[in-house]
Structure 1
Amino acid sequence: MLAADAVGKKLTRRRRLGGVRWAVRGVLVLVIVGAFLVGFDGMFYYPSRTVHYRPADFGLRHEDVTFVASDGVRLHGWFLPATRLVPVSRRGASDDPTVVGGRGRSADPTDKADGATDNAAATAAAPAPQARGTVIHFHGNAANITNHIVLSQWLVWEGFNVFLFDYRGYGRSEGRPTREGTIRDGHAALDYVLSRPDVDRARVFAFGQSLGGAVATVVAAERPEIRAVVLDSTYSSHRRIAALHLQKLVLLRWPAEWIARAGVSGGYEPLDYIGRIAPRPLLVIASARDEICFAQLGRELFEAASEPKEFVLLEDGAHLESVADNVGNTQRRIVRFFEQAAASRD
């Protein structure tokens, strides 16, 4: 009886394992079929029209901007003019133009650092006499500029104009997002910035994050008007990042890469463009804790680039958190990078 029970348990365990294996195979079949039928390209875009923050929430002035891409799609953005902080006396605003701030507001307008005074009570925002430059913020793949403003508003307090724009299908921009469409939108954003009389064309910089890093890489490679490029938490190839995430599901590398090649279209890959940014300076930032755009992808992009270039690997900070939270004094590093790029053009 004991031997019979043991045999029965083994058979039951084998049936269960066999059922699990067939379930996994079934999932793989569905993934592969889905890749061939609809592809994975659409999974790179998660647009939203929900409003999260407005520039006024950070004490910032802005201009609502509507501009048009080369294929006629109407796009929306915010132009945030460079801002300084001036002291405010008890009797009213001071005439002293001395800059007393510049380290930026909190990424969350409701937060306040321990022991810090309320900037709104101690100081007032005023136009900077001359912007250090103009930064075009190419944001990531989710939400819209009302969410991503928290990731670049600090540059305004550092004395830079910032232009945030939404790709087609995001926020108040028309259309539907596609890879080619986002590239067109990036070119249109640059054209708009260059058309402004208050922008120094010799000091126009790109700041690309996540998906926006891929878009910024292509646009900067094609447009020498962009004088320096910062890429944060981005990736080297659409197929490469898809394969790494698929590998979590299928466990093996080769089927993940095969599925990615089948389901993700080619074209406008950052690796194919990054070498054309030189001789303009490039700064690539990655975090060892990034579980979305893995640090190795940023390293691959950096290694494919030509000099002058810098790579910063941060040990702390999840996806898109390192710059927003100023991990490793990253904000100061970016400001210094843009300043050096501007000085090299003077």
Structure 2
Amino acid sequence: MKTKLLFLALIFSSMCFSQLDDKFYQPGKTMKPIENMEYTEFSLPVENDTVTGIFIKSAVKPKATVLFFHGLGGNVSSYTFMTKPLAEAGYQVLMIDFRGYGKSTGTPTHQNIQKDGQKFLEYALSLPETKGKPVIIYGASMGSQIAAHLAKNNAKVVDLLILDGAMSSHADIASHFSPENAAMIQMIPFPYSSKEDIKTLTMPKIFIHSAGDKTIPMAQGQTNFNNAPEPKKFITYEGGHLEGMVKNQTEIISNIDELIIKK
């Protein structure tokens, strides 16, 4: 019995130390062609690594700057189907690949992604193109966690937060896929979660989710929404995970336009 308890304690200790980083991040190194968009590439030194990304120019005079954080797989080139409509609607978009993704070096962890995201935000705000323009943070799927966390830590410079196909926390999504280990997973001290960070955010917020999402249950997006203070908007659509910009682009863009103008 003592041996079994020791074994379980060692497993739990290991889980707490790593916070299951390798389960949450699946970097893609192969870059897909980015077509029919004007963009430039950038790179930023962070500790001993380099993180990279792209700056997509607006098709017209930009209304605002969108900082886009993608999901657990692929890289920036895998998510341009979500950002191209924004550029076409008059938003300039900066997309980052955290450590290990795309052309970025290193290995992603919950902890170093915090540093990557803060460095990215500060870089974006230092650009002449972003001066005097509203700032939108857009988190897709896994990117929702760092998006909400950055919005909390930089609330004075963020004009709108968008969480698309968002999980409520690392622990909640891990528990969803591994219900037999839920009790242990919920005890792991993950460093941040959107459902907690969202509670203090008073800037406008848009939540996008599909009831048919088989990757992240809409109930987790609803938890984020319920925890968030006003002003806020929940937009639904019929389709799969992160298909909002494909299935319901008009409503999403019009709500972004409206909230940015009100702000």
Give the TM-score of the pair, scaled to structure 2.
0.89
The reply to whether residue 267 of structure 1 matches residue 191 of structure 2 is yes
Unaligned 5+ residue runs, structure 2?
1-6
Closer/same/farther in 2, CA of residues 273 and 75 from structure 1, 3 Å limit:
same
Aligned pairs for 1:134-283 (under 5 A) are: 134-223=65-154, 224-247=156-179, 250=180, 256-261=181-186, 264-278=188-202, 280-283=203-206
Aligned partners of 2:173 and 2:216 also within 8 Å: yes
How much does 1:191 deviate?
1.1
How much does 1:34 deviate?
5.6
How much does 1:268 deviate?
0.9
The reply to whether residue 68 of structure 1 matches residue 45 of structure 2 is yes
Amino acid aligned to 1:343? I
The reply to whether residue 78 of structure 1 matches residue 54 of structure 2 is yes
Aligned partners of 1:194 and 1:201 also within 8 Å: no
Please give the per-residue CA displacement for 1:135-157, whole angstroms capped at 9, x wherever unaligned. 11110010111111222111111
Aligned pairs for 1:3-152 (under 5 A) are: 37-38=14-15, 40-54=20-34, 57=35, 59-69=36-46, 71=47, 73-83=49-59, 128=60, 130-152=61-83
1:198 is paired with a residue whose SS is helix
Aligned partners of 2:235 and 2:252 also within 8 Å: no
The reply to whether residue 311 of structure 1 matches residue 226 of structure 2 is no
Aligned partners of 1:144 and 1:171 also within 8 Å: yes
Aligned pairs for 1:282-301 (under 5 A) are: 282-301=205-224
Aligned mates of 2:194, 2:178 — CA distance in 1: 20
Amino acid aligned to 2:99? R
Amino acid aligned to 1:133? A
Closer/same/farther in 2, CA of residues 239 and 157 from structure 1, 3 Å limit:
same
How much does 1:288 deviate?
1.0
State the superposition RMSD in angstroms. Answer: 2.1
Aligned mates of 1:135, 1:188 — CA distance in 2: 15
Aligned partners of 1:132 and 1:159 also within 8 Å: yes
State which of 244, 249, 252 in structure 2 corresponds to 1:322: 244
Aligned mates of 2:104, 2:200 — CA distance in 1: 29
Aligned mates of 1:202, 1:276 — CA distance in 2: 23
Please give the per-residue CA displacement for 1:230-252, whole angstroms capped at 9, x wherever unaligned. 110011111111111112xx4xx
2:129 is paired with a residue whose SS is coil
Aligned partners of 2:55 and 2:94 also within 8 Å: yes
Aligned partners of 1:82 and 1:157 also within 8 Å: yes
Aligned partners of 1:136 and 1:190 also within 8 Å: yes
Per the alignment, residue 93 of structure 1 pairs with none
Closer/same/farther in 2, CA of residues 34 and 48 from structure 1, 3 Å limit:
farther
Aligned mates of 2:10, 2:239 — CA distance in 1: 36
**Rg bigger for which structure?**
1
Give the TM-score of the pair, scaled to structure 1.
0.68
Aligned partners of 1:201 and 1:225 also within 8 Å: no
Which 4+ residue blocks in structure 1 deviate beyond 3 angstroms? 30-39
